Structure 1
C-alpha cells in the first residue's frame, strides 16, 4: 500500500528526496509530502552561512610552537545542492584537512614575529586553497579568519621581557642624552658667565686707571710743587688706611699689623712684644 508522508522544510533549507534509494527531487521550503514507501526524505541542507573553527598546532621558522585558530565561514551553493549532499561524506572534515595542510606548510616558513604580521596573507592563502577545492563539491567559502595565534606562555613571557629590555635601554639612552644636554648647557653658561665677569673686571680696572690718571693730573695741576710720585704715594697711603679701616671694622677680626724692617730681626720681636702689651 502507498500512502502520503507529510513533512515541512524550513526557510533557507532544501530537502533531498529519493525513490527506492535513487535521487528523485529537491523539495523547497514549506509543506511537502512523499509517497511512502516508494519515496523518502533522506536529508536536508541549509543555505545559511556556517562557521567551522579549526585549531591547528604547528611551529614557526625559529622553532616556536603555537596554536592557531582558523575560522572558516562557508555555505551551500543553491545550484550545486546535489554535489553538496552526495559528493562528500563529511564536509567539515574535508575543510579541516585542507586548513591543516595549508597552515602547516605556510607557518614553518615564517618567524614568530612575522606570523603576527602576516595574518591577512595566511587567511587569504587558506581561503584560496579551500575555494578551489570546495566549489567542486557544492560549497562556497565566504570568508576565512585567523582569530587567534597563541604561542607557549614561556615564549610570550620571553617576548615581553625582550620588549621591556629594549624600552628600558631606549629610556636610559634618552636620559643620558638629557643629562649630556644639561651638562653642556651648564658648561656654556659657566663659560659665558666667566667671560662676562672678565669683561666686567677689565672695565672696572680700566675705570680705576682712568680715575687715577685723572686724579693725578688734576692734583699735579692744582698743587704747586707736587710731582707724580708724590701723588701716587698719597693715593697708596689713602688706600692703605681704607684697607685697615675695612679690616678693623669686620666682626671677629683677629688681624694684627706689625711694623717690620728687613735690617734687623730683633726689631720684629720687639714690635710683637709691644703690640702684645698694647
Structure 2
C-alpha cells in the first residue's frame, strides 16, 4: 500500500521540479508574475520560478520588428493616393515592463499614429511634391511616433515611405504627359538635326559651286594663256595676229566637229557648221572687239571733258 502512494508522490515531485525551470531564448524577455502581480523580468538563459506561485505572464521579442502600414489619402490637388509606410521599431531592453503592461496592442497604436501623421501632411502637398518630399513625410512620422512610443517602452528605429501609388487614371494621365514631353523633345532634336543637315548641305553645295567656278576660271585662264602662246608662236613664223586668230578659230571649229562626230549616240548639232562658219565667227569677233574699243575710247573722252569742266 505504501509503495502505491510513493509513486504518485515521486511523480508529483518530478513535475514540480521540472516546472520550476524554464528557458528564455536569445533576444527575448519574459515577464514573471507572482500570484497575479508583476514580479520580475527574466532575460535569455536558464531561469527558475516557484511552481504554483510564479507564472510566465508573457514573452516579448527584443529584435527589431517592422510594421507595414497602407494609407489612402488625398493630395492638395485632389488626387487620391495609396502610401505605404514601413515602421521599424524595437522594445527597449530597460523598459520591457512598460512595453508589456502599459500598451496592449502596439501594432494598432503605431498604425493609428502613422495614419494621423500621413493624413495631416500629404493633404498639404501636390502629387509631385509627395514623390519629391517622401523623406519629409517619413521624418514627420518618426518624430511623432518616437515622442509617443518611447513612454511605452518602444524605440522607433526608422520610418520609410516605401510606395506611393496614385489612382490608375492619374497614373495613365501622368504617363501620357511624360510621353508627350519626350515626343516634344524628340521632335526638337529631329528638327535641329534636319536643320543642321540642310545647312551643311547648303554649305557643301556653295563650296562645290565655288570650287567649280574657280575651276572654270582657271580653265579659261589657261585657254587664254594657251591662245596667247599660240599667237606668239605663229607671229614668229611670219603670220600676223589676225591671220593667227583666224587659224586658231578654224582649227578649234573643226576640232569641235571632229569630237562631235566621234559620239555615235549624240543628238547635238553645231550651228552654223558650214565651211565659212569659222571665218564668219572670226569676223564677228573682230567687229565686236573693234566696236568695244571705240565705245571705250568715246567714254574716256567724255569723262576727260567732264573733269576739265
Query: Which bracket does the TM-score occupy, shorter chain normalised?
Result: 0.7 to 0.9
Report the Cα offset of residue 184 of structure 1.
Answer: 1.2
Q: Secondary structure at the match of 2:155?
A: strand
2-side partners of 1:230 and 1:217: how far apart?
Answer: 12
Shift in Å, 1:54: 0.9
Change (3 A) 1:13 1:247: closer
CA distance in 1, matches of 2:256, 2:275: 18
CA shift, 1:90, in A, is: 1.8
Cα deviation for residue 165 of structure 1 reads 1.9
- Quote the RMSD (CA, aligned, Å): 2.6
The answer to whether the 8 Å contact 2:30/2:60 transfers is: yes
Going from structure 1 to structure 2, the CA distance change for 1:239 and 1:92 (only over 3 Å counts) comes to same
Q: How does 1:118-157 map to 2 (within 5 A)?
A: 118-157=133-172
Between the two proteins, the alignment pairs up a number of residues equal to 256
Counterpart pick for 2:197 among 170, 176, 182: 182
| Counterpart pick for 1:220 among 218, 235, 239 | 235
Partner of 1:80, secondary structure, is: helix
Pair 1:8-2:22 in alignment: yes
Number of the residue aligned with 2:208: 193
Q: Deviations over 1:100-136 (max 9, x none)?
A: 1111122222222332232333222211211111001
Task: Indicate whether 1:44 and 2:54 are aligned.
Answer: no
| Counterpart residue number, 1:32 | 48
Q: Any idea what SS the aligned residue of 2:40 has?
A: strand
Segments of structure 2 that go 5 or more residues without pairing to the other structure are 1-14, 277-309
Q: Distance in 2 between matches of 1:9 and 1:72?
A: 30
Unaligned runs of 5+ in 1: 262-278
* From 218, 222, 242, the counterpart of 1:203: 218
Question: Which aligned pairs between 1:102-121 and structure 2 lie closer than 5 A?
Answer: 102-121=117-136
Within 1, Cα distance between the matches of 2:55 and 2:209? 108
Tell me which residue corresponds to 1:275: none
Inter-partner Cα distance in structure 1 for 2:207 and 2:216? 14
Counterpart mapping for 1:70-85 below 5 A: 70-85=85-100
Q: Say which structure is richer in helix.
A: 2
Using structure 1 for the length normalisation, give the TM-score.
0.81
Deviations along 1:74-103, whole A, 9 cap, x unmatched?
Answer: 121121122212222322111111101111
Of 214, 231, 242 in structure 2, the residue corresponding to residue 229 of structure 1 is 242
CA contact (8 A) 1:34 1:41 kept: no
CA distance in 2, matches of 1:48, 1:193: 81
TM superposition shift of 1:35: 5.2
